[in-house]
Chains A and B, each alone.
Chain A
Amino acid sequence: MKRFKINKLAGTLALTMFLVGCSNILEEQPRSIYEPGFFKTEKGVYGGLTAMYAHLRYIFGQGYFYNTTLVGTDEATWGQSADENFKVMDISGQGQITPQNSRADVLWGNAFANINTANGIIENATEVGTIPAALIAEARFFRAFDYFMLVQTFGGVPLDLGNGELKFNTSPVRTSVRNTVPEVYTKAIFPDLKIAVQDLPAVGRVTGGATKTLARLYLAKAYLTYAWWLENPNNIPTYPETPRVDPDGHDAAWYFQEAYNVAVEAIDDPGPFGLQPTYYDVHVGSNDRNNEILLYADHTEESDFYNGACTNCFGDGAAPGNFAVWFMTWNYTEIRSAANPDGSGPVSSVQREAVQPLGRPWIRMCPTIGVFTNTFADKTLDSRYDGTFTTVYRGNWPKGGVTNEVLYNANNLPVSPGDPILTFLPDETEAPNITYPDGPGPSNVGAGTIPGRPDYVVTPRAISRLMYPGLWKLGTYRTNNGNGLGQPNATSTRPFNIAKFSELYFIAAEAAVKGAATVAGKTAYDLINVIRARAGKWRFDNAANTERIEDNSAAMVAATPTDIDIDYILEERSREYFGEGYRWYDLIRTQKWEEYASTYEICGPAKGDHTVQVVNRQIQPYHYLRPIPQGQIDALEMTPEEKQAYQNPGYVTE
């Protein structure tokens, strides 16, 4: 019996060990994650491309990056709730731009991972063998796109991420060498975009997908930008230092001409793209993803997961959410009307609502007075002022649960839901009749009153860091508000527009004024007038909140000077693209930043402050390049001297 048991025991052990040996417990097979090897399959390549589109959300619609594209230009300064990130960008004595507080790190931190993904796709697609050239061209487009963004923002950047120039990096390198600006253009941007123009389809593979027209726009813009760089009219330094000589042996004029040619080619062969009938149509939320938009960082109201941010909650102001518009929205919700005819019983009459004129206020940035007095001097013929700003704030209190049928507003006059509560007037005509309070006043925001007028009023020269017209064009658009206020606190579920067909006209015109030979019917004057003629067409009046069918094209064209110069183009660009994140790049490309932005006017941040202050900026040549982010410097394994040499001049680093 004893013996029997022992034998059985031995049998058990032998069996157990055998079972263990069989399952080979030291092998690994993941089942819930992808290994990098998956990238070498056809599905992996497609997934890589999707990630490249998705990367746009981490840069465009990211409010802090948006800040770096506008604050400090003639379009924007810091707003009442601004922190250091915004104040330093203003270069007006509110602190210095440093590698730590510059938020151009958003671009730096997202671009290289995407470039590497592109490198991987371009390499692996060849290996897979079944990937159409059009798909590889999408990767090339995005690689060029990111390099183009980087080279404009930071100067020369590395082409070698660790495994050789433009090669997929799989080695853990902690050093980096910056290439020069001409190297980045001639080795990466131009070759990639040329292939993209050749191989991309006319119609995108997917909604919002890269197309031939898109690639042409960026090729033309890259040529244009590089041409300016070669010309260097105001002697702005570059970094890493390099002579302004093109390795490919061309000069600035040649590149201006190429920019013109490619842009015109795109205009002549637009594929499905074109200009929308009116400026309003380009930006009205119900018409998003229209055929004027060549590239956008898409978002959706349908799915939190695919939107990249919750659609029904308090958004947290972080990418991939689209929250840029919050930053240039003032806090209109502080406006008060009265429940009683004697002006007592304050009620919030314009509540936070998820509609295009309103949305969530963060008050980090504000337009300068010059935007309203100079850039948008014409507010009647030109539909773009009305198509850019919310100028009339209308009562929406029933949606917020306030049941009063009538409230008492300016001068204790009754107002009904939908009536104007506060109006930004177009000019100073009424200024002498306006009484502004010293502090918040009855409106609670320091707005003025005109006898007999039930809405509070503010003129352009009374616009302050606290109170300014909202940015209607980027405003929230939702379809699920029901009868209420909707979800104004969620990040915007609209696509953030990045590139528009209309810019081809501007690029060609700019190249033309810089000396490019033009073709018949496409002089700078002709091209700009296409845009201006369209700007004269009205379909809807946002301020009046009514349909307005009107065509002022002829008058607009008539107002165009015949001798168009770069300044006129820059002014026109601001009218067309105000608040969309173009301005800093336009001003540094043309080296006109200091000229356009060294002084601006704005009233102070306190309620009731309507005293115009003239603010001077100390824009230095070194500011034309943003600092290399501290995160990069910190992670580099190099000597302090090497790190300082890696940094752009003028910025102290470790």
Chain B
Amino acid sequence: MKRVLLFLTLMTGKRPTRFSLSLMLTLLLMSAFVAQAQVAVRGKVTDETGAGLPGTNVLVKGSTTGTTTDSNGDYAIEVPQSDAVLVFSFIGYESQEIGVAGRTTINVTLVPSVESLTEVVVVGYGVQRQEAVTGSVASISGDAIREIPAGNITQALQGRLPGVEFTQTSSKPGATMQIRVRGTRSLTASNDPLIVLDGIPFVGTIADINPNDIKSVDILKDASATAIYGSRGANGVILITTHKGQKGQKARVSYNGYYGAKKVFAKYPMMDGPKFLALREAAGLYSLGLDEAEDVSTDWQDLLYRTGTITSHDVGISGGTDRGNYNFGIGYFLDQAVIPTQQYTRYTVRGSIDQEIGKHFKVGFTTNNNYNLTEGTQIDVGGILRMSPLANPFNPDGTWKRTVRAGIDEPWVYSREIVENLKDQWLSETRGYASYNSLYGEVKIPWVEGLAFRTNLGLDFRQSNGGSYTGQGIMSTNPTTESRASVTNSHTWHWLIENMLTYDRTFADKHNINVVALYSAEQNRFTRSRMEATDIPADHFQFYNLGQAGGQLIINPGDQQYELWGLMSYMGRVMYSYDDKYMLTATVRSDGSSRLAEGHKWHTYPAVSVGWNIAREPFMANVGAVNMLKIRAGYGQTSNQAVAPYETLGRLSTRPYNFGSEFSTGYYVTQLPSPHLGWEYSETMNYGVDFSLLGDRLSGTIEYYVTKTKDLLLNVSLPPTSGVSSVTENIGQTENKGIEISLNGVIVESNGWTWEAGINLYANRNKLVSLYSGADRNEANWWFVGHPIDVIFDYKRIGLWQEEDPYRDILEPGGNVGMIKVEYTGSYNPDGTPTRAIGPDDRQIISLEPDFQGGFSTRVTYKGFDLSAVGVFKRGGILNATIYGSGGYTNLLTGRNGNVDVDWWTPENPNTRYPAPNGVRSNDNPKYASTLGYFDASYMKIRTITLGYDFSKLFPNADINLRAYFTVQNPFVLFSPYHDESGMDPETNSYGNENAAVPLSGNLRRILTLGTNTPSTRNYVFGVNFTF
């Protein structure tokens, strides 16, 4: 922090306190305007077609007095003197300064500014006109994001950008989605894209950013675009830009708010009492427990779920003077789950200021802050699903039983009422606070036109405090089980300094040149500590005083963490275009990272891309249907340094032990040092066509890419006989290639009706090209050369064994009729009998990759009404639903505990999907039960349908915008085999190692599954946007 103040001091030549004071004063002045002797001026502002231009800023030059034009383009303003000068400005148009010169009516026609003929795209270390972009960049405006009311942008962006896949990892409030830009490249290193918030690489979670604060999101997809982020560009770069005020804009206040109810989309399809009883009888393993009865049918889910709510309020103020601008906002967001006490609350405060000082200086800062609270994560739906429906949760006097004796188990009973009553004795919460700040100072070098020097300083701080408390006997069969509490604290500090020289000039009206040179350094420190205690003497302590614990105090060394990493970089970029016809971008970046081994820390990334706007060629002048046609190609190299700090050093794992009552912690080697660990890098070729046809009624982009990733950072499991579990090495190659199409069209535009529609479609083909030293498979990690990275390696279910099927005795010794039949891949004897029993050899590689996926949106407007819908779809691939498979313990088919409602095999009902109860088992599940969890992942889902009305039309003279809308989220699902089977939402909700009774092993965390997480909901939301 000291460094920041020093920096400010030197920048301004003043003491920082005085600088801050003057800043505050400026702000105060802007809002406290004092009227003087007045002259009334009115008039109309029109655009180049003569239509009124609503929302144009009209400002008295040199003052803070200003207004905006109404919906007809009319304005009225009182100016202090008759010789005042008015400044008319509107985004995308050239500003005009007009002297009043005694007039009372001044009509103005604004002309579009050349720079804003098309949208501006944020490309990292600067912006570029979309028309001139030669790399692959997908952009979406904040307004479009807000069409889906959601707690964070990942939910709002799903299915809306080609090549960017958002997949749900949790259905709990506050959860963010997994983002994959053009597939996965890396086997054990991270595949998450780099997020850059207002120019500073982002170290927080994306949930910390309030979607209402976002002006635009630009996603750099190919290496020619991401190479400017060098070692972190390989997984794509997401550039998030928050709102700023407009220079010379009158202060405007805006309010956006919505409120909605959340209902369970579909309950987990569990058996009711009679069905479960039939199953238990068919299995013949368990008899009724003491709290079970044949005539009981308890729906445990109904007893637990509630109607959730979603609430959001945001207030913002923005404005500007002729030398600066500002934007401030506060936000509140509350997402309550259908699980009682489970909720996510977020408060955000943000601000940005830019101020010019003298002719050559400009300074500014942006700050994004949030405090959030995640509660109720301890409540597990799985426990409820596994409850026997035959168990009656109530005592004869109507009170809740503490436990129910059902089958052989005696689970603790919880319900909505119990959970709510216990909210002070059974809680788990995480309080997060984060502050993301960027400051800059810019100087235009006076002697060289177009040359500027800029320093950016990023300073981020994030902390997360978790606490949990489980009172005595809660969640336990035994009422005297000791209470438990834990506290987890983590902190992140991050600083970044960038020194950047830019040169931006146009020569001879045709040669546009933009050059950037950069030096940057950054460091990030993360610390985490956790402690636990048992036997908290009084419930009121919760987790606030573990020192009072009467039982154990546990500080597990595995839970304490310290990580410090640094990155130093040099970067240079040239963007050149000739007459907007021929474009070239060339980049080179050199990165050095602390995470890699000595002598392997640095790598240099080159990239180049070119574009040709054919429509600007003279020979196209007569092709009226084509408004724009640009082809482009790019090549670049980028890296993935997402290897954990200290990974190159090797590691000892700890093993606690007791020698009688003497405690000791041992260590042993689990990870070998990797003294040669270097960068994993990707090379991408990208080809694209952008077009706009039929008077800009139809526009779109088609892209094709091939990314080859080399020197994969691989955490390789070693055979047990090596004595060490794993080592991280640079070995192996992967390839991703794919195609992306996006189309936007105006289908109808007449008689006040407009109908617009957009669709995007993309397909990625991922392939593991090679592993270490020629190996073609690593079964321990499920890696197979020639197959996608994400596969399942398991038996292939082909049905159930029927009475008449031959060779069951050979293929399945010890098996039974009605058990799951899996494919035999072995050889046969001359007489046609199989040569061996089914075994590990018969496991097959099952790809999880969808054929294609995408999304669509459509919008119809008429006289202030708007009706829009956003959808997402996917074709092919595998969805692993652990509730049907072996992990969930919800499809044991033994009648031990709650079972999903399935139709099982009997001699009379042979043609079904599910095996006979109490057949051959593997652990507690039917043999090969994991295969029952695999479903075709295809689906199409309407994510939102919104009907809105713009009330501003009712008040043509008032300077306000008011729109109200009603949205249904998740209204329905189509074409989903999983939905057909279960009635449920087919989206994944868990990592592979979560939310199942027996999750997949840790290295399969990368596979997203549908497990026993908080149920997905259908939401009914009413909202208002109001600006004045």
**Which residues of A line the B interface, CB within 8 A?**
2, 4-6, 8-9, 11-13, 15-17, 19-20, 23, 25-36, 38-39, 44, 47-55, 57, 80-85, 87-88, 93-96, 98-101, 108-109, 111-117, 119-120, 157-158, 161-162, 169-174, 176, 206-209, 289, 298-300, 302-308, 312-314, 331, 333-334, 346-348, 352, 361, 401, 440, 444, 482, 484-487, 489, 606-607, 629-632, 634-637, 652-654
> Mind listing 17 A-B residue pairs with CB under 8 Å?
A5-B361, A16-B455, A23-B523, A47-B666, A48-B667, A50-B664, A93-B814, A95-B920, A109-B720, A112-B721, A113-B720, A170-B673, A207-B659, A208-B660, A304-B554, A348-B405, A635-B719
| Cβ 8 A contact of A206, one of B477, B659, B669, B920 | B659
Interface residues of B in 102-126 (CB under 8 A from A): none
Establish whether residues B562 and A30, one from each chain, have CB atoms under 8 Å apart when the complex forms. yes
CA distance A347 to B563 in the complex (A): 57
Specify which chain B residues have a CB less than 8 angstroms from the CB of A346 in the assembled complex.
Answer: 290
CA distance A19 to B778 in the complex (A): 46
- Contact of B722 with A by CB under 8 A: yes
Establish whether residues A16 and B497, one from each chain, have CB atoms under 8 Å apart when the complex forms. yes
| Cβ 8 A contact of B666, one of A52, A99, A304, A307 | A52
Nearest-neighbour CB distance to chain B for A89, whole angstroms, equals 12
Establish whether residues A32 and B670, one from each chain, have CB atoms under 8 Å apart when the complex forms. no
Interface residues of B, count at CB 8 A: 115
**What 7 additional pairs, Cβ within 8 angstroms, besides A5-B358, A207-B661?**
A112-B721, A158-B721, A303-B554, A306-B658, A313-B476, A484-B480, A632-B720
| Cβ 8 A contact of A28, one of B453, B595, B663, B721 | B595
Known contacts A25-B523, A83-B921; is A305 also within 8 Å of B656 by CB? Answer: yes
Establish whether residues A9 and B408, one from each chain, have CB atoms under 8 Å apart when the complex forms. no
| Cβ 8 A contact of B669, one of A23, A116, A171, A629 | A116
CA distance A29 to B666 in the complex (A): 22
| Cβ 8 A contact of B10, one of A9, A57, A101 | A9
CA distance A5 to B779 in the complex (A): 64
Known contacts A631-B720, A652-B841; is A25 also within 8 Å of B566 by CB? Answer: yes
Establish whether residues A302 and B927, one from each chain, have CB atoms under 8 Å apart when the complex forms. no
Establish whether residues A174 and B775, one from each chain, have CB atoms under 8 Å apart when the complex forms. yes
| Cβ 8 A contact of B814, one of A31, A47, A87, A654 | A87
Establish whether residues A8 and B724, one from each chain, have CB atoms under 8 Å apart when the complex forms. no
Nearest-neighbour CB distance to chain A for B650, whole angstroms, equals 4
Establish whether residues B837 and A81, one from each chain, have CB atoms under 8 Å apart when the complex forms. no
Establish whether residues B497 and A305, one from each chain, have CB atoms under 8 Å apart when the complex forms. no
Establish whether residues A25 and B521, one from each chain, have CB atoms under 8 Å apart when the complex forms. yes
CA distance A253 to B577 in the complex (A): 93
Establish whether residues A26 and B722, one from each chain, have CB atoms under 8 Å apart when the complex forms. no
Known contacts A312-B481, A482-B480; is A306 also within 8 Å of B663 by CB? Answer: yes
CA distance A531 to B567 in the complex (A): 70
Nearest-neighbour CB distance to chain A for B895, whole angstroms, equals 12
Which are the 4 A-B pairs with shortest beta-carbon distances? A116-B723, A25-B566, A50-B666, A51-B666
- Contact of B443 with A by CB under 8 A: yes
Nearest-neighbour CB distance to chain B for A336, whole angstroms, equals 8
- Contact of B655 with A by CB under 8 A: yes
Known contacts A9-B443, A80-B285; is A2 also within 8 Å of B360 by CB? Answer: yes
Specify which chain B residues have a CB less than 8 angstroms from the CB of A2 in the assembled complex.
Answer: 358, 360, 446
Nearest-neighbour CB distance to chain A for B959, whole angstroms, equals 40
- Contact of B836 with A by CB under 8 A: yes
Known contacts A25-B567, A208-B659, A308-B656; is A634 also within 8 Å of B780 by CB? Answer: yes
| Residues 804-823 of chain B, each 1 if its beta carbon lies under 8 Å from chain A, else 0 | 00000000111100000000
| Cβ 8 A contact of B6, one of A15, A606, A631 | A15
Nearest-neighbour CB distance to chain B for A327, whole angstroms, equals 12
CA distance A88 to B927 in the complex (A): 13
CA distance A6 to B562 in the complex (A): 40
Establish whether residues A634 and B778, one from each chain, have CB atoms under 8 Å apart when the complex forms. yes
Nearest-neighbour CB distance to chain B for A80, whole angstroms, equals 7
Of all chain A residues, which has the CB nearest B836?
A652
Establish whether residues A38 and B6, one from each chain, have CB atoms under 8 Å apart when the complex forms. no
Known contacts A33-B652, A52-B666; is A630 also within 8 Å of B721 by CB? Answer: no
Establish whether residues A27 and B594, one from each chain, have CB atoms under 8 Å apart when the complex forms. yes
Establish whether residues B923 and A83, one from each chain, have CB atoms under 8 Å apart when the complex forms. yes
Known contacts A161-B722, A304-B554; is A17 also within 8 Å of B499 by CB? Answer: yes
Nearest-neighbour CB distance to chain B for A221, whole angstroms, equals 24
- Contact of B745 with A by CB under 8 A: no
- Contact of B704 with A by CB under 8 A: no
Establish whether residues A303 and B552, one from each chain, have CB atoms under 8 Å apart when the complex forms. yes
| Cβ 8 A contact of A634, one of B285, B405, B499, B779 | B779
Interface residues of B in 651-710 (CB under 8 A from A): 651-652, 654-670, 672-673
CA distance A300 to B667 in the complex (A): 19
Instruction: Kindly name the residue among A47, A114, A629 whose own CB sees the greatest number of chain B CB atoms within 10 A.
Output: A47
CA distance A337 to B592 in the complex (A): 74
Specify which chain A residues have a CB less than 8 angstroms from the CB of B479 in the assembled complex.
Answer: 401, 484
Establish whether residues A85 and B658, one from each chain, have CB atoms under 8 Å apart when the complex forms. no
CA distance A116 to B722 in the complex (A): 8
- Contact of B248 with A by CB under 8 A: no
Specify which chain A residues have a CB less than 8 angstroms from the CB of B921 in the assembled complex.
Answer: 82-84
Nearest-neighbour CB distance to chain A for B728, whole angstroms, equals 9
CA distance A99 to B925 in the complex (A): 20
Establish whether residues B841 and A32, one from each chain, have CB atoms under 8 Å apart when the complex forms. no
- Contact of B62 with A by CB under 8 A: no
Interface residues of B in 72-111 (CB under 8 A from A): none
| Cβ 8 A contact of A113, one of B556, B724, B925 | B724
Specify which chain B residues have a CB less than 8 angstroms from the CB of A108 in the assembled complex.
Answer: 720
Establish whether residues B481 and A12, one from each chain, have CB atoms under 8 Å apart when the complex forms. no
- Contact of B624 with A by CB under 8 A: no
- Contact of B478 with A by CB under 8 A: yes
Specify which chain B residues have a CB less than 8 angstroms from the CB of A352 in the assembled complex.
Answer: 410, 477
Establish whether residues B665 and A26, one from each chain, have CB atoms under 8 Å apart when the complex forms. no
Instruction: Kindly name the residue among B561, B645, B673, B840 whose own CB sees the greatest number of chain A CB atoms within 10 A.
Output: B840
Known contacts A50-B657, A112-B720, A352-B410; is A98 also within 8 Å of B840 by CB? Answer: yes
- Contact of B593 with A by CB under 8 A: yes
Known contacts A26-B568, A83-B923, A169-B723; is A487 also within 8 Å of B481 by CB? Answer: yes
Known contacts A173-B718, A208-B659, A306-B657; is A35 also within 8 Å of B673 by CB? Answer: yes
Specify which chain A residues have a CB less than 8 angstroms from the CB of B422 in the assembled complex.
Answer: none
Specify which chain A residues have a CB less than 8 angstroms from the CB of B356 in the assembled complex.
Answer: none
Establish whether residues A304 and B814, one from each chain, have CB atoms under 8 Å apart when the complex forms. no
CA distance A312 to B648 in the complex (A): 39
| Residues 1-32 of chain B, each 1 if its beta carbon lies under 8 Å from chain A, else 0 | 00100110011110000000000000000000
Instruction: Kindly name the residue among A11, A12, A53 whose own CB sees the greatest number of chain B CB atoms within 10 A.
Output: A12
- Contact of B274 with A by CB under 8 A: no
Establish whether residues B923 and A85, one from each chain, have CB atoms under 8 Å apart when the complex forms. yes
Nearest-neighbour CB distance to chain B for A178, whole angstroms, equals 9
Establish whether residues A32 and B836, one from each chain, have CB atoms under 8 Å apart when the complex forms. no
Of all chain A residues, which has the CB nearest B894?
A81
Known contacts A51-B666, A348-B405; is A8 also within 8 Å of B11 by CB? Answer: yes
Specify which chain B residues have a CB less than 8 angstroms from the CB of A209 in the assembled complex.
Answer: 659
Specify which chain B residues have a CB less than 8 angstroms from the CB of A85 in the assembled complex.
Answer: 922-923
| Cβ 8 A contact of B721, one of A13, A35, A95, A176 | A176
- Contact of B207 with A by CB under 8 A: no
Establish whether residues A30 and B601, one from each chain, have CB atoms under 8 Å apart when the complex forms. no
- Contact of B631 with A by CB under 8 A: no
Interface residues of B in 877-934 (CB under 8 A from A): 920-925, 927
Establish whether residues A84 and B10, one from each chain, have CB atoms under 8 Å apart when the complex forms. no
- Contact of B482 with A by CB under 8 A: yes
Of all chain A residues, which has the CB nearest B657?
A54
Establish whether residues A303 and B920, one from each chain, have CB atoms under 8 Å apart when the complex forms. no
Nearest-neighbour CB distance to chain A for B844, whole angstroms, equals 12
Establish whether residues A169 and B773, one from each chain, have CB atoms under 8 Å apart when the complex forms. no
CA distance A4 to B658 in the complex (A): 69
Establish whether residues A32 and B560, one from each chain, have CB atoms under 8 Å apart when the complex forms. yes
| Cβ 8 A contact of A440, one of B287, B651, B669 | B287
- Contact of B284 with A by CB under 8 A: yes
- Contact of B70 with A by CB under 8 A: no
Specify which chain A residues have a CB less than 8 angstroms from the CB of B556 in the assembled complex.
Answer: 305
